[in-house]
Structure 1
Amino acid sequence: MRRRQIATAALNLALLAAGSGAARAQGGSGPLTLIVPFPPGGIVDTIGRLLAHRVGQILNQATVVENRAGAGSAIGAAQVASSRPDGQTILFGGIPQAIIPSLQPNLQPSDPLAAFAAVGTTHTTPYILHVHRGLPVNTVQEFVAWAKARPGQINAATTGQGAGPHLTWELFSRTVGIQAEIIHHRGGVPAILDIQANRAQVMFSTALEAIQAQRAEQSRPIAVTSAERLAILPDLPTLAESGLPGFDVLSWGAWYAPAGSPAPVLARISAALEEALQDPAIRARFDDLGVTPAYEAPEASRARLASELNRWGRLIREARLQTTS
């Protein structure tokens, strides 16, 4: 009898161990760590924490959010790329991964398509072109005419060298043929303060930053970069409507895992991410942040990254913006 009890106990332990191994293979036994490559408190951090919490609830899995800021997101990206490919460590990346390889090719990973497996796109948000409130312009056409009459005499603020708003300015200024001295800042707040003080006259920023600046009477928005108008600013025309047909720029976010991560694990996380983005509470919060839920499955998310790598790489080469600093 005792021999049978021992045998049964041994079998139960074996089944328990096998079950634990299966749970690990499914990516559910340990915490899911989301690496946010920007400081706490920003829009990416806010979105990341919202989604990580909801995804954890859907998966019945603990989630941890870690901020690994620096080098325009490259530090966090490098950490994830070199992590164990078990589906437990995820990068909250996006448009920086399409810009950094051409702008700073010395930073790793230099080939995000090889370094990462896409989990899914999370959201998009346009940039807004806004100007100093004292400028005698109310439309893009008026601004371009005003700027062309003052070649080299105006300053354009950016939220950081190589960031999406900076490259959007480069694309815009090359498209319309105006010149400006570029003043780079560390983030949107100091850039907007320069606009308010008239040390700079124009900039692109995220929709949330521009809306907050308008409400604080720090600047005046004149156009949005997306193909369609923003619901929160329905009277603000698009750049395409303002005489630049085809001008369509969106910032975007996506989750990426290290290359080689198990496809079933990533599919499970991606499905949870899609479900999280349908949550009414999350969608309402996204509205407050000026972003649009935009889930894309792994293949479409990877295709977006490939397309954006080509687009911004071409602009960086044409404008000779490459830097290794």
Structure 2
Amino acid sequence: MKLLRGIAGAVCLLLSLSAHAADPAGSYPDKPIRIVVPYPPGGFNDTLGRTAAEYLGTHWKTTVVVDNRPGGNTLIGNTIVARAAPDGYTLLVTPLPFSALPGLYQDKMPYDAVKDFAPVIWAGSTQNALVVRADSKYKTVRDVIDDARKNPGKINYASTGSGSSNHLSMALFDSMTDIKMTHIPYKGSAPAVTALLGGDTDMLFDNVPNVYPQIQAGKLRALATTGLKRSPMLPDIPTVDESGVRGYEVTVWFGIQAPAATPRPIVEKLNRELGRMLQDPAVRERFAKQGVQPVGGTPEQFAKQVFTEIKKWGDLIQRADIKIQ
């Protein structure tokens, strides 16, 4: 009888071990998780990383740390995750500019943006707004287009850097309207907005939450937003599409990825928990304060978004001959 009980116990142990081997998510996580944010503290990328760290840490009762790794146009942080062990313990906050990097750097890329990552979840999205100073002669999108056609290359615009969402927004605008304006990149939203307010540049596409305070204060005028639908923060401002540039659309998206070859059960477990996070009222309120709408969905849906955007921006970069400045 003791022998039978011993055999039964051994069988149960083997079954338990084989179940864990078959399902690597069974014991995950059993050590600290690191979320790499390829930007300095501040801004929504940092908010997303810290919100995810707080939520996962609380609900999984584990340590989740945020590792801000700015620099190299986000290549530094992205490369860290691309080369990390594919075990679910290193994650990457991934915004729209990620999809422009292959077109900008081409064979100088230190990783493959498609093959070296496993998309986990599309966390949220927002829009950019085309803004000018309150005293600008430009009152509409049509005003900008007409003046740019009369004065090619003489109108300039600020951006938060080459390959940023606001640079891409203007490059797409130039391409679709057959105009040419001069790009002046700055290191971040604050200096770009300061330059616009100071008269050093003529206009700027920037995330709606970044310029909303200046719009409300009467210092900046919004001419249009980049979504197919109007921004909830600026419901009285038309979209670029509504303003006559039919088919124009830029969604400023944010998501989370893991290294490629991360076991599917772990990716799915992360997706489920982060999906629940996006439904949390406190999280939704935090996102709303920064003008971001939660999205969610499956890993496949986020992968489709990333791959579609890589092609979209790669084609534009080649067509417009955009270079890193």
> TM-score, normalised on structure 1?
0.90
CA distance in 2, matches of 1:213, 1:185: 18
Give a deviation string over 1:39-62, Cα, whole Å, max 9, x none: 012221012211221133233332
Give a deviation string over 1:212-244, Cα, whole Å, max 9, x none: 232344321110000001112110111111101
Task: Name the Cα RMSD after superposition.
Answer: 2.5
Q: 1:163 to 1:73 in 2, by over 3 A?
A: same
Q: CA deviation at 1:285?
A: 1.3
Q: CA deviation at 1:248?
A: 1.1
Q: What is the match of residue 110 of structure 2?
A: 108
Alpha carbons 1:132, 1:200 under 8 Å: kept: no
Give a deviation string over 1:36-91, Cα, whole Å, max 9, x none: 11001222101221122113323333211111111121111100111111111111
CA distance in 2, matches of 1:33, 1:24: 18
Q: What is the match of residue 187 of structure 1?
A: 188
CA distance in 2, matches of 1:71, 1:294: 28
What amino acid sits opposite 2:109 in the alignment?
A: L
SS at match of 2:288: helix
Q: CA deviation at 1:165?
A: 0.8
Alpha carbons 2:24, 2:266 under 8 Å: kept: no
Alpha carbons 1:195, 1:218 under 8 Å: kept: no
What amino acid sits opposite 2:72 in the alignment?
A: A
Q: What is the match of residue 50 of structure 1?
A: 51
Moved more, 198-207 or 208-217: 208-217
Q: What is the match of residue 130 of structure 2?
A: 129
Q: CA deviation at 1:18?
A: 5.6
Q: CA deviation at 1:25?
A: 4.8
Gaps of 5+ in 1: none
What amino acid sits opposite 1:175 in the alignment?
A: M
Write the mapping of 1:163-312 to structure 2, written as runs, cut at 5 A. Answer: 163-312=164-313
SS at match of 1:186: coil
What amino acid sits opposite 2:243 in the alignment?
A: S
Q: 1:231 to 1:25 in 2, by over 3 A?
A: closer
> TM-score, normalised on structure 2?
0.90
Q: 1:135 to 1:150 in 2, by over 3 A?
A: farther
Alpha carbons 1:192, 1:218 under 8 Å: kept: no
CA distance in 1, matches of 2:279, 2:197: 38
SS at match of 1:200: coil
% identical equivalent positions: 33
Alpha carbons 1:24, 1:30 under 8 Å: kept: no
SS at match of 1:256: strand
The answer to whether the aligner puts 1:158 opposite 2:134 as a matched pair is no
Alpha carbons 2:24, 2:263 under 8 Å: kept: no
SS at match of 1:277: helix
SS at match of 2:29: coil
